[in-house]
Amino acid sequence: MTRMSFAEAARTALAEEMRRDPLVWALGEDLAQGGIFGQYKGLAEEFGPDRIVSTPISESAIMGAGLGAALCGTRPVIEMRIADFTLCAMDELVSQIAKVRYMFGGQGRAALVVRMPQGMWRNSAAQHSQCLEAWLTHIPGLVVAAPGTPADAAGLLKAAIRSDDPVVLMEPKNLWTAEGEVPEAVEPVALGVARQVAQGDAATVVTWSACVPVVEQGARDSGVACDVFDLRSLWPWDEAAVIASARRTGRLLVVHEAVTVSGFGAEVVARVVEALGPGGLRAVERLGAPRAPVPFSPPLEDAMRMTPARVVQAIRRVASARH
């Protein structure tokens, strides 16, 4: 194991995939300069301008060029800088990339990765801090993954690059500098398989992406023995593992950075309730952001942020609730 940052782990994984497969390449704004978070640092020097391509500032052109290149047989890694900017390229992603295999009877495939760093990051305000994951899980044809550790940043990126389906990788901006243990030989992480972080009978706690370290800390601080799952993939997601745990504990808490209203946590809760039937859960709760734009003001932004203390309170509420 080697200790490295989230950005370094992702950069190392991309470099290894580019060495393994000459059809893998990356395009986006400022990639030759290393990318906004340093996740492409040094790659232009090794692979040259034909495989680390700095593009004009046009998200729709970047997304469309990636699709065209994928249809021609290459495996593009499309960098959107931050998830909010993807809104300028939603037609290419939703109406073209997600549907091309279906529309052409499997004759064409969009084997590509769209990297969308999302969420809060050093007071980036309302137009640069959104979590759009629930939008994208709603779109048939897209695979959606959301790493929460440096090891999964590497393993999920490798899996995404090797997938024959288009994969949206929702990378948490707030974790780019976070460090963790990463295997020296990183293998692709199976899409749709959760990582169980902790075990316990008091409740089932589900999270992903930027909230993973927050929930891990909160679960430890709560003093309550819970099953804690890092989903890692939002579509497909590991329904079997979560449902089996909730059936045993009878209590469910879902924690995410995104707005609670219509967030992916609602899908998790709905599927568990459908599977367990009436009375299958003694307590259930979603913990997420209020339905409000993310403020620029640091104190106001902090008021919207998930914290271990909020997780502690939620775990204790769910674990102690009576049917």
CB 94 within 8 A of CB 138: no
Cis peptide before 76 (omega within 30 of 0): no
d(Cα 54, Cα 4) in Å, to the nearest integer?
26
CB 77 within 8 A of CB 163: no
Task: Report CA-CA distances (Å) from 57 to 34, 88, 239, 280, 321.
Answer: 16, 11, 39, 51, 52
Instruction: Give me 213's structure tokens.
Output: 């370290």
Q: What DSSP state is assigned to residue 177?
A: T
d(Cα 229, Cα 256) in Å, to the nearest integer?
12
d(Cα 205, Cα 200) in Å, to the nearest integer?
10
Annotate 1-15 with DSSP letters as a single string. Answer: -EEEEHHHHHHHHHH
Instruction: Give me 192's structure tokens.
Output: 């749709």
Across-strand partners of 77? 26, 113
d(Cα 231, Cα 233) in Å, to the nearest integer?
5
d(Cα 40, Cα 251) in Å, to the nearest integer?
42
> For residue 5, which phi and psi values (nearest 5 degrees)?
-80, 165
The yes-or-no answer on residue 128 being catalytic is yes
d(Cα 208, Cα 193) in Å, to the nearest integer?
12
Question: Residue 53 in 3-state DSSP?
Answer: strand
Residues that are catalytic: 128
